[in-house]
Amino acid sequence: MCDASLQSYTSFRIGGPAEVLVEPADVDDLCRVVAQARAEKIPIFVVGGTNLLVRDGGIRGMVISLGKFKGIRQEPDHVLYAEGGVGMPTLIGYAVRRSLAGLEWGAGIPGTVAGCVVMNAGTRLGEMKDSVKAVRMIDPRGRVVDISAADIPFSYRRAHLPRGIVAGVWLQLRPGDHEQIEKTVKEYLQYRKDTQPLTLPSAGCVFKNPPQDSAGRLVEAAGLKGARIGDAQVSEKHANFMVNVGHARAEDVLALIKNVRAAVKKKSGVTLELELKVVGQA
Ligand code: EPU
C-alpha cells in the first residue's frame, strides 16, 4: 500500500502517511520483505501501537505492520510463545484462562507484545523483563535470530536489543491459582480505568517517571491538567497522558509537550524525559 494513513495503526490516532505500508503474512514473508528492503536500500520502520507519535509529514520508506502476527501457543514448562503483533490484553486473557501467572502487571496496557518487549513496558507491579525468556528477531539481513533473555540488557523502559524486528517472544510464566490471577487482573484493570483515560485515543504515558517521583504528579502540580492545544489535551484524569479529543495533529501534541516541560521545569526544577517515541517528518 502506498501513501497509507498510519492513524489507524497508532493508539493516538495521529500522524501522516507511510510512503509504503507492508503487512507480512508470516515470518518467512517478513524475512523476504526485510531482505528486499535492504537490497534496495529502503529504510524500514515497524509501527506498533502505543507510546508512539508519528509526525504529520508521515514516514518515508517502508513501514511494516505486524498486524498479521497474532499467534499464541503454549509450550512445556509454563512457557508461552506469542507473535509480535499479539495485543497485551489478548495475551493476558490467554494466560489467565490457563492459570498462568506473571503478566498481571500488564492488565490494561493496550500495546502489542513486540512493542512491550522493545520498551520493556511496565507498571508498579512488574515489567516485561520479569517474564521474557527469549526473543525471536529478524535481523537487518532478513535472517531469524533467537536471543536468550540472559543476553538482553534491560533497563527502565528499554530492552537493549540488536537491530532488527521483534517477530515473537517466549515468556516464562508460572502456574498459579486461577481465581487469584483473575482477581489481580480485574483489580488492576479497574485501577487503571479509574485513574487513566483508557477510552480516549492516547499514547500511554508521555514522560518517564523521574527517580522517586511521578511525572503525572509533577504535571498536575504545574497546573497543566486539562491544558489544550488544538485537539491535543493533557488528560483531566491522569496528567502524564495526552489525549486526542478530536483530530489532533502531531504538531499540537509536540507544542503541548514543550509547554508542559517548561512549566514543570519552572515549578519543580525537574526536566521531564520523553517516554513517547516521536518518529517521521514534520
Ligand atoms: N498522580 C497525580 N496526578 C496525576 C496522575 C498521578 O498526582 O494526574 C499521582 C498519583 O496520585 C499517585 C502517583 O502520581 O500518587 C502515581 O500515579 P499512578 O499510580 O497513576 O502511576 P504513574 O507513576 O503515574 C505508572 C506508569 C504507567 C502505569 C501506571 C500504573 C510510567 C511512566 N508510568 O504511572 O505506565 O500504567 O504506573 O501502574 O512508568 C505507560 O508506561 O505508558 C504508562 C501509562
Which residue's alpha carbon is nearest to atom 21 within ligand 1? 214
Looking at residue 49, what is its pLDDT? 62
Q: Which atom of ligand 1 is nearest to the CA of 195?
A: 20
Question: In the structure, which protein residues have their CB atom closer than 6 angstroms to any atom of ligand 1?
Answer: 51, 123-124, 195, 204-205, 208-209, 214-217, 220, 225, 238-240, 275
pTM for the predicted model, two decimal places: 0.92
User: Binning pLDDT at 50, 70 and 90, where does residue 28 land?
Assistant: very high
Sequence ranges of the domains in the chain: 2-65, 72-193, 197-279
Out of 217, 235, 237, 275, give the residue to mutate to test ligand 1, the one with the largest number of ligand atoms within 8 Å of its CB.
217
Percent of the chain with pLDDT over 90: 91
Contact 281, 59 (CB under 8 A): yes
Residue predicted with more confidence, 198 or 248: 248
Contact 245, 262 (CB under 8 A): no
- 197-279: CATH architecture: Alpha-Beta Complex (3.90)
Out of 214, 241, 268, give the residue to mutate to test ligand 1, the one with the largest number of ligand atoms within 8 Å of its CB.
214
- Return the CATH number of the domain spanning residue range 2-65: 3.30.43.10
Whether the CA torsion 248, 63, 86, 68 is positive or negative: it is: positive
C-alpha to C-alpha distance for 262 and 75, rounded to whole angstroms: 49
Looking at residue 81, what is its pLDDT? 98
Which residue's alpha carbon is nearest to atom 14 within ligand 1? 217
* Half-sphere exposure (Cβ direction) of 216: Cα atoms closer than 13 Å: 13
The mean pLDDT of 189-202, rounded to a whole number, is 94
151's grid cell = 543476553
Q: Which atom of ligand 1 is nearest to the CA of 204?
A: 42
Q: What spacing in Å lies between the alpha carbon of 177 and ligand 1's midpoint? A: 28
Of residues 204, 225, 282, 141, the one with CA closest to residue 233 = 225
Angle at 82 between CA 150 and CA 208, to 5 degrees: 65
Q: What spacing in Å lies between the alpha carbon of 208 and ligand 1's midpoint? A: 10
Domain over 72-193 is classified CATH 3.40.50.300? no
Query: Lowest-pLDDT range, 14-18, 49-53, 154-158, 246-250?
Result: 49-53
